[in-house]
Amino acid sequence: MPQQKRRIVTIKVDALARVEGEGALHIKARDGRPEEVRLDIYEPPRFFEALLRGRNAAEAPDITARICGICPVAYLMSACNALENLLGLSPPPAIRDLRLLLYYGEWIESHTLHIFLLHAPDFLGYASAIHLANDHPDVVQEALRVKKLGNALVTLLGGREIHPVNVRVGGFYSVPHPRDLRAMRDRLLWARDAMAERARWVAGLDFPDFEGDYEFVALRHPDEYAILEGRVVSSRGIDISVSRYDEVFEEQQVPHSNALHSVIRGRGSYLVGPLARFNLNFAQLSPTAREVATAVGAVPPIRNPFKSIIVRSLEVVHALEEASMLVERYEPPERAAVEYAVKAGVGYGASEAPRGILYHRYRVDAQGLIADANIVPPTAQNQKRIEEDLWHFAPQVLGLPVEKATWLCEQAIRNYDPCISCATHFLRLTIERVSGTG
Amino acid sequence: MPVRTGRKPKLAVWKFASCDGCQLTLLDCEDELLAIAGEVEIAYFLEASRAIVKGPYDLSVVEGSISSPEQVEAIRKVRQQSKFLVAMGACASGGGIQSLRNFADVKEYMQAVYPTPEYVRTLDKSLPMSAYVPVDLELKGCSPSKAQLLEVISAFLNGRRPNVPTHSVCVDCKRQGIACVIVALGLPCLGPVTQTGCGVLCPSHRRACYGCFGPMETPNTESLGAWFTLMGVPSDSLMRLFRTFNAYAPAFKEASERYASAEATHSHDQG
């Protein structure tokens, strides 16, 4: 074999910023082709599934909420869904509406946090939103105002923004007075219009030219853009009830990660989150969200993961619009919660966390204690897909200066708004360049 | 507390084993965030910024418990670089919900969660920061109070001691005139032994306090537990009641161990 000049490039980031939790990225490439791509999740595990055993099933919502301070409502809801599935409970429409409203509050808060504080700085070349605010104070101040409104909804219904206290299996501990909800309406409509305008601004950012070949997986509900519950559907024909989740999906462990990787059995990676929901359920977005989407040419299928920031903006518009209608029509339920008797069995539940499907399964004994638990967070489901994006995206950037290439790879990871604290937890990215003969 | 000099003080925010909620508390200060950024140099805050300024840091706010060998080294380095170190939240100050492993066999825990436990490095116990380094202030709560965090930052900037009360939730509940959930609803409420700071959230939502701010200064868990026993709460429920988000805070740890052994004796008598 003739001697040939080879160039080895390694991209390395030890502590990835603007993500939730701790992780690292390592890419090694030879002659412009990646040889190794690793999203190292080194955040130490907290063993939730083990510590849940022997706890009262009624404690599962509050305990699992502590998996993630960014999306505690998602954990509260998926846990309640799973246990109510086991108990055969279905809370009345007024309670369901309050849950939707609480969840929209979390979507608004979490999405505006990610769009403007964590992701937009990448597109505009700033290290953080604080730096961004020096040049574009209006963008950041408006985002903070909308974020605060999302938090206000969560606080009104849940008691506080992080780890709300007011949710229980069967409903709530107490319910708000209609006048307190009505008082939110004008602010929600202001925010809807502000974010509709801002979504156009987001759609005008520069997007790297990149598309992935994804299987999109999301919940689907007959009457609404699914968030609280639904069937699990995919762009390649999956259509199952949540109770069959384990038959179709499985979790695998890899040596470099404290988060398990989810795959579709016999098929491989898939994508959950805003892009999946948008591509599968576009027609159910609120009228204003669809109108803006059409106006900016953001229509399904969107396969460029960098454009997830547009979809998040549209989902914020949707959440604000839906929330404004819910506060208007709210009439308090007769009772804050549906009572139940303890029952043994297995319960399955899922909901759409801001980052995608969050699945819970519990087996409960006759005393009402948890015998075993399984929790699959969205970032665990996307983790393999993030690595695959980097395999395909890296060749486009490996010729650039290291600092630029590294930043673009970080941005590609942030497309997923990864929550490593959920999956276990923080990212490290490494670009290493070596040249020599080989 | 250090007195302010000409340059802006450097703020660092660190994460250990946790849910990110405590750091998010800072980003949730929507009205104050840009003002804070004007008063301090945000020198290290990975959740918010990829710009990193080298230490030493004037004020370090740290979330999370210490649960792996790497974290033991890391918290020592943070301590060396920090003039004033705040352990923020239930994990940093009381070990967090993950300290439930301290009452179990961690190897068995690993096998329950991971098919190949050898890939995972962890310590037998999840401990509060103070188990490894001196801490200047503990801010309790799961999640901690935004107002208390702002008070700590404001006190720091003005060179005074922060005003963080250590009396019970129960006292504030009475002050606010909320109907007692123990008396009116017959619920086992931890308000009498839990430190205030949440704003009496649970009782004001007709729920029993579940102790997420951890033990108050001088809690009498034994007396409260005796009342709950009289109310008919079984000892295994009492054990779980004290063993949640501050399971390894000494007063709650002792209380839960008391009811765990009562439960063991009870089961033995039955069996």
Query: Which residues does chain A have within 8 Å of residue B201's beta carbon, measured at their own beta carbons?
Result: 159-160, 165
For residue B118, what are the CA distances in angstroms to A26, B107, B111, B114, B121?
21, 10, 9, 9, 8
Secondary structure class of A10 (helix, strand, coil): strand
Is A162's Cβ below 8 Å from some Cβ in B? Answer: yes
Structure confidence by residue, pLDDT tens digits, B22-70 = 999 999 999 999 999 999 999 999 988 888 999 999 999 999 999 999 9
pLDDT at residue A405 above 70?
yes
A66 and B96: CB-CB below 8 Å?
Answer: yes
Secondary structure class of A380 (helix, strand, coil): helix
pLDDT at residue A334 above 50?
yes
Amino acid at A86: L
Instruction: Quote the pLDDT of residue B112.
Output: 75
In terms of domains, do B241 and B179 share one? yes
Residue B2 included in any domain: no
Q: Name which of A70, A48, A45 is nearest A59 in CA terms.
A: A48
Residue B256 included in any domain: yes
pLDDT at residue A223 above 90?
yes
Rounded-to-5 percentages of helix, strand, coil across chain A: 45, 20, 30
Residue B232 included in any domain: yes
Report the C-alpha gap between B250 and B169 in whole angstroms: 18
Residue B5 included in any domain: no
Q: Are A291 and A314 in contact (CB under 8 A)?
A: no
Burial zone of A36 (CB within 10 Å; 0-12 exposed, 13-18 middle, 19+ buried): exposed
For residue B143, the distance in angstroms to the closest alpha carbon of chain A comes to 6
> Structural domains in chain A?
5-437 (1.10.645.10)
pTM of the model: 0.94
Query: Which residues does chain B have within 8 Å of residue A118's beta carbon, measured at their own beta carbons?
Result: 48
Dihedral of the CA atoms B120, A18, A165, A334 (nearest 10)?
-120
For residue B23, the distance in angstroms to the closest alpha carbon of chain A comes to 9
* Range from A27-31, A236-240, A352-356, B134-138 carrying the lowest mean pLDDT: A27-31
Q: What angle do CA B220, B222, B225 make, to 5 degrees?
A: 110
Total domain count for chain B? 2
In terms of domains, do B67 and B183 share one? no
Instruction: Quote the pLDDT of residue A1.
Output: 41
A159 and B201: CB-CB below 8 Å?
Answer: yes
Q: How many C-alpha atoms does A22 have within 13 Å on its Cβ side? A: 17
Domain boundary among B97, B124, B157: B157
- Where does the pLDDT of residue A16 fall: very low under 50, low under 70, confident under 90, or very high at 90 and above? confident
Interface subset of A 264-323, CB within 8 angstroms of B: none
Report the C-alpha gap between A418 and B98 in whole angstroms: 21
In terms of domains, do B29 and B135 share one? yes
Say whether the peptide bond before residue A354 is cis (omega within 30 degrees of 0). Answer: no
For residue A116, the distance in angstroms to the closest alpha carbon of chain B comes to 11
A18 and B49: CB-CB below 8 Å?
Answer: yes
Please give the average per-residue pLDDT across B201-221, as a whole number: 97
pLDDT at residue A30 above 60?
yes
Instruction: Quote the pLDDT of residue A355.
Output: 96
In terms of domains, do B109 and B186 share one? no
Which residues, in sequence order, are CB contacts of A434 under 8 Å at separation 6+? A7, A8, A9, A10
Please give the average per-residue pLDDT across B257-267, as a whole number: 83
A162 and B21: CB-CB below 8 Å?
Answer: yes
| Residue whose tokens read 């009624």 | A58
In terms of domains, do B140 and B174 share one? no
Q: Are B248 and B101 in contact (CB under 8 A)?
A: no
Please give the average per-residue pLDDT across A230-249, as a whole number: 97
In terms of domains, do B121 and B58 share one? yes
Residue B118 included in any domain: yes
Ordered DSSP codes for A94-155 = HHHHHHHHHHHHHHHHHHHIIIIIIIHHHHHT-SBHHHHHHH-HHHHHHHHHHHHHHHHHHH
- Where does the pLDDT of residue A421 fall: very low under 50, low under 70, confident under 90, or very high at 90 and above? low
Q: Name which of B106, B107, B108, B13 is nearest B58 in CA terms.
A: B13
Please give the average per-residue pLDDT across A75-101, as a whole number: 97
Instruction: Quote the pLDDT of residue B238.
Output: 97
Is A176's Cβ below 8 Å from some Cβ in B? Answer: no
Report the C-alpha gap between B104 and B107 in whole angstroms: 9
Residue B137 included in any domain: yes
- Where does the pLDDT of residue B268 fall: very low under 50, low under 70, confident under 90, or very high at 90 and above? low
Report the C-alpha gap between A356 and B224 in whole angstroms: 43
Dihedral of the CA atoms A277, A281, A286, A288 (nearest 10)?
80
The share of chain A scoring above pLDDT 70, in percent, equals 94
Is A112's Cβ below 8 Å from some Cβ in B? Answer: no
- Left if phi > 0, otherwise alpha if psi is -120 to 50, otherwise beta: which for A362? beta
A128 and B30: CB-CB below 8 Å?
Answer: no
- The minimal CB distance from B205 to the residues A19, A50, A166 is found for A166
Among positive and negative, which fits the CA dihedral A175, A180, A186, A191? negative
In terms of domains, do B222 and B253 share one? yes
Q: In a mutagenesis test of the A interface, which of B34, B41, B47, B91 is the best target, namely the one with the most A β-carbons within 10 Å?
A: B47
pLDDT at residue A295 above 80?
yes
Question: Exposure pattern of A402-434 as b/e (b: 16+ CB <10 Å)?
Answer: beebbbbbbbbbbbbbbbbbbbbbbbbbbbeee
Structure confidence by residue, pLDDT tens digits, A98-118 = 999 999 999 999 999 999 999
In terms of domains, do B173 and B152 share one? no
pLDDT at residue B165 above 80?
yes
Instruction: Quote the pLDDT of residue B269.
Output: 60
Say whether the peptide bond before residue B143 is cis (omega within 30 degrees of 0). Answer: yes
Please give the average per-residue pLDDT across A138-157, as a whole number: 97
Interface subset of A 207-266, CB within 8 angstroms of B: 252-255, 258, 260
In terms of domains, do B136 and B214 share one? no
Residue B1 included in any domain: no
pLDDT at residue A433 above 60?
no
- The minimal CB distance from A17 to the residues B24, B46, B204 is found for B46
What tokens appear for B41 in the block?
């140099």
Chain B residue closest to A70 (CA)?
B21
B202 and A165: CB-CB below 8 Å?
Answer: yes
In terms of domains, do B123 and B221 share one? no
Which residues, in sequence order, are CB contacts of A202 under 8 Å at separation 6+? A115, A120, A309, A310, A313
Is A368's Cβ below 8 Å from some Cβ in B? Answer: no
Report the C-alpha gap between A159 and A164 in whole angstroms: 5
In terms of domains, do B34 and B128 share one? yes
Interface subset of A 344-363, CB within 8 angstroms of B: none
Instruction: Quote the pLDDT of residue B85.
Output: 97
Domain boundary among B157, B178, B198: B157
Is A19's Cβ below 8 Å from some Cβ in B? Answer: yes
Give the structural domain span for B51: 10-157
Residue B162 included in any domain: no
Domain boundary among B103, B126, B157: B157
| Residue whose tokens read 């409260």 | B224
In terms of domains, do B151 and B192 share one? no
Please give the average per-residue pLDDT across B86-98, as a whole number: 96
- The minimal CB distance from B115 to the residues A63, A166, A253 is found for A253
- The minimal CB distance from A66 to the residues B19, B25, B101 is found for B19
